[in-house]
Structure 1
Amino acid sequence: MLSPASYIEICSRNDPNIENCIINSIEKVRPKLLTGIMLCPCPAGIMLCPCPAGIPELDVPPIEPLLLKEVVVSRGANAATFRAVGSNVKVYGPAQFQITGLKVDLKNMVFYINLKLPELYFDGDYDVNARILILPLRGKGPIKANATDCSADVVLRGQVYKKKGEDYLRFQSIEIDLKIGKFHVHLDNLFGGDKVLGEATNAALNENRSEFIETLRPIAERTVGEVILEIANKITNNFSLKELFRDS
């Protein structure tokens, strides 16, 4: 029998400081979203070794690093202006999020969250055939990028439904306004490995990063939203509403 107290803080719906309780609950979950060196079953037995964390019994995957198997970015008619595909992209830093604001409307099951993401690092592969401003982009190879001073305003909307005679919470939609501070990207092997042209293009990309950021922002918002919805719903799917928010 799963107990919510093993994973989160149990908050009272009548608590005047319920926002603080929910933040403490999220902080309790945070370490379980990491991967790394920890005590876990290895071929030689229980010992310190690399192993996935997450919350397997709730089917919640780790998000540090966050693995994106495929990310498709397209813009323009028939994707003629910009089309890029990222594959096996690892994102380091999402679990270091900071909650800078939280407002809860339990009556309507709406959660308003302000997040800060101090630093994100991306490492993966890309395949691009696109144009940004007057820059042609053609190539296929490794990509590395980092973003700092990012923030997000999130609106998470849920609905109560019945399961086994009990009330449960399901989050149905999420709205995210993502702001990216500083950003730097480097694409290896542009133009078939032409180093001079590749370095010049990378330099121009970073000098005109605002256009690049605006191109990537919708997919970044959608990806962050999908991750938050997945984790939130896998937790709430396992516990009734009265287990998550007691009446007293």
Structure 2
Amino acid sequence: MLETSKISVLACIVIFMQLTQANSPSDLKQCAFNDSTCTTNFAKLLLKNKSKTGWPELKLIPFDPMRINSLILQPNPNSPISIGLKFKNIEILGLMNTQNVRVEGFTSDVKDPILLEGTLPQAIIRGPYEGSGTVLGLPFKGKGDCEIVLTNLKLTGHLHGKLINGYLSIDDVSLTMSLPDKVHFKFGGLFDGNKDLGDTANAFVNDNWREIFESMKDDMALAFAKIVKEITKTALGSVQYKELFKEQ
């Protein structure tokens, strides 16, 4: 048992050294196809060591913070809580601290979806917004800075792709979000800057965070899925698929 533990530690050290010292994708051949333990460990190190800097040789952009030009969350007219939000030039922080990471499905033929799963202890979405709608019959209107903090948010994604001329092409990404342990909203500029009304509205929104999250999570998941697709499609499609893995 002790010998197995030594081997596992040694393997992690080797993977860490390869990741931090790699200058090109071809320098990394530590995982075999369908080795979910290895690809999961690699993903953890990638999140820790490349989230701030990216990986130019693999065309992987920095992703913590992840910067997004536009994010639109549509109102739900059939819900008692219906808020439409439009964000511009926002940041999403917290991806580098993802826990309970699981990566499966990197097979030689990629016939089945690739699974990406993890839990963000704290995900923060912040930036300028415009919003309007109703919350349990009460009006909601604002324009200014916004911060949304999601605690223990579990994300489960599936990459659907195929091999074209030896390159992995990502056609679609499906993503689901669990109900976080807590969501805290802070909207600035509510009701033309009226502090009393703004404080009351923020307090009311946070008292009903579950209902508000449920009303917007599908649009939020779609937005996140598009981001994941753009990043993975560029990175995975920049080099021959087989070069990313250990030769059999």
| TM-score, normalised relative to structure 2 | 0.79
**Distance across 1 between alignment mates of 2:167 and 2:50:** 23
The answer as to whether partners of 1:9 and 1:22 remain within 8 angstroms in 2 is: no
Ranges of 4+ aligned residues in structure 1 off by more than 6 Å: none
Identity across aligned pairs (percent)?
Answer: 23
State the match for 1:26 in structure 2: 43
SS in structure 1 at match of 2:74: strand
**Distance across 2 between alignment mates of 1:105 and 1:240:** 14
State the match for 2:66 in structure 1: 66
**Distance across 2 between alignment mates of 1:188 and 1:121:** 16
Whether 2:156 is the aligned partner of 1:157: answer no
Q: 2:32 aligns with which of 12, 16, 20?
A: 12
State the match for 1:40 in structure 2: none
Superposed displacement of residue 187, structure 1: 0.9
Whether 2:145 is the aligned partner of 1:128: answer no
Superposed displacement of residue 109, structure 1: 4.0
2:85 partner amino acid: A
The alignment covers a number of residue pairs equal to 218
SS in structure 2 at match of 1:196: helix
SS in structure 2 at match of 1:239: coil
1:111 partner amino acid: I
Superposed displacement of residue 122, structure 1: 2.5
Structure in which a larger fraction of residues adopt helix = 2
Superposed displacement of residue 197, structure 1: 1.2
- Which protein has greater RCO, CA pairs closer than 8 Å, 6+ apart? 2
**Distance across 1 between alignment mates of 2:213 and 2:29:** 37
**Distance across 1 between alignment mates of 2:61 and 2:36:** 25
Provide structure 1 residue ranges, at least 5 long, that are not aligned to the other structure: 35-52
**Distance across 2 between alignment mates of 1:105 and 1:144:** 36
The answer as to whether partners of 2:30 and 2:245 remain within 8 angstroms in 1 is: yes
State the match for 2:104 in structure 1: 103
The CA RMSD measured in Å over matched residues stands at 2.1
The answer as to whether partners of 2:73 and 2:220 remain within 8 angstroms in 1 is: no
Structure in which a larger fraction of residues adopt strand = 1
Superposed displacement of residue 230, structure 1: 2.1
